[in-house]
Structure 1
Amino acid sequence: MAPAGRPAGHRARVVDGQPGPRPAEPRHGRAAALRARAGGRAPGVDSVSWTDRLLCLLALLAVIASYALLWGEPGRATHASVWVAGEQRHRLALDQPGQWRVQGPLGESRIEVRDGRVRVTASPGPRQICVRTGWLEQAGESAICLPNQVVVRVEGDGGYDAMNF
């Protein structure tokens, strides 16, 4: 009967009358080929050099820097452009409150400017997505009434871009 934890027919290696460790597995097969290619090490263990780590660090820093440049503080909003069917119809100053009516292919859209912000208050579109967009106050934001082909886009000073040093 085999000792507990060992399969039947298993013999322990005996050295000087004492049982020793199991003999090493033969070095053949895919694992041995991978170890040989990695300089005798198991794949992935200490196979990353300091230049690889430096390259990864530089790539990470580049991602962080590009995030800051692309998604940093937007420029100050100064006006809103109203486009109908691809043509600019109005340029509204955000510091002058008021309400405007814009005629699109489906009917009338209403636009309101107040407190340095702009919004679409009514549109003939069935889903009212541009109305539900709400107030626009940062440069680059827009409300698009697609069925009526009316676009309200907030614009302003450009702030800084990648060309400024």
Structure 2
Amino acid sequence: MTNRIVFEHTVEALFIRGLGERVTPELKSRLRDEGLDLDRKLLPGYPQERFTRWLQCSARSLHPDTSEEDALCWLGERLVDGYKETAVGSALFGVLRLLGPRRMLERTQKNFRSGNSYTEVRTTLLGEREMELWMNELDIARHFTRGTMLAGMRACGAKEPRIDVLRHDTDGTTYRVRWSA
């Protein structure tokens, strides 16, 4: 497997902008122990495995009474909230609003690649407002990705978006994405 890198502005979007004041001193300390010091200048990129550990740590800390899947999905939505505030994200979401849900989904790989070095996507149109997306998401981060896609769908004008994890294996995760007019 090639190096999977999550870029600086993605880390900034989630942990600094999206979560902001929700990052308690205890969580900040736990993240520092796992290699993310939010009091220092961020590095240009971080290994995806480390980013996934930060997601797990944050999910447990911020939503201890929620399932890990739901807590990770919530974090994915916060990433989008924060990403819209970054220079890269602001430009990206300006374009996505113009594209609408279907065209946004068709360019999911390009969208995700603005935040990491590794995402691969295959899309299959199932109907006017329904698609399957296969992504090379290999671990529990698939639930985080589900949250980012939900928030992204809302941001580009999709009504009542629904994203389900259909299956996952050693190659990736398949999602079913639906929305109303």
TM-score after normalising by structure 1: 0.24
Bigger radius of gyration: 1
Between 1 and 2, higher relative CO (CA 8 Å, sep ≥ 6) is seen in 2
Structure with bigger strand share is 1
